Amino acid sequence: MNQLEKEPKIASELTTLKQLLAHHSVVQDFQKIQRRALDNPKLQALEEAIKQAQKDMVQYDHYQKPEAYQAARHTYETLTKEYDAHPIVVAYRGTLQEADELLHYVTSEIQKQMNINIQEEDQHASED
């Protein structure tokens, strides 16, 4: 637990913020698509095939087998293109970007407000 979380008011506000974010439509859409992606057997199979192709590339490169390396590379590139074009992956990346933008916005607004509060405190301290 970090120092800020030990403060009851801050911990309470943090809990509230987490709940608000968890119920935001952007976050809920992201979580729904994420579950669909994680539960999709075709995507899981593609991920495993991509990992295997990567391993094959490393192995063939290590043992200096350029033809086998090129074949594994071609397989890797084909599988990666198929994976990247899958509708669930496309939707996942879109909702991930939206969720990231939401979190960036919230973080920026908190930072702005904190800076304003600090400047006001500095002004009041210099007036005293």
Per-residue pLDDT of the chain (128 residues; tens, 9 = 90+): 566 656 888 889 889 999 999 999 999 999 999 999 999 999 999 999 999 999 999 999 999 999 999 999 999 999 999 999 999 999 999 999 999 999 999 999 999 999 998 888 888 777 76
Contacts 24+ apart (CB under 8 A), 9-16: none
Please give the Cα distance from 125 to 8 (Å, whole number). Answer: 26
- Which pLDDT does position 1 carry in this prediction? 55
Q: Helix (H, G, I), strand (E, B), or coil: what is residue 57?
A: helix
Residue 36: closest CA among 101, 100, 94: 94
The residues, ordered by sequence, that sit 6+ positions from 99 with a Cβ below 8 Å of its Cβ are: 26, 27, 30
Q: Which residue's entry shows tokens 């990567």?
A: 54
Q: Tokens representing 30?
A: 């992201």
- Which pLDDT does position 4 carry in this prediction? 62
Q: Which residue's entry shows tokens 């976050």?
A: 27
- Which pLDDT does position 128 carry in this prediction? 62
- Which pLDDT does position 7 carry in this prediction? 82
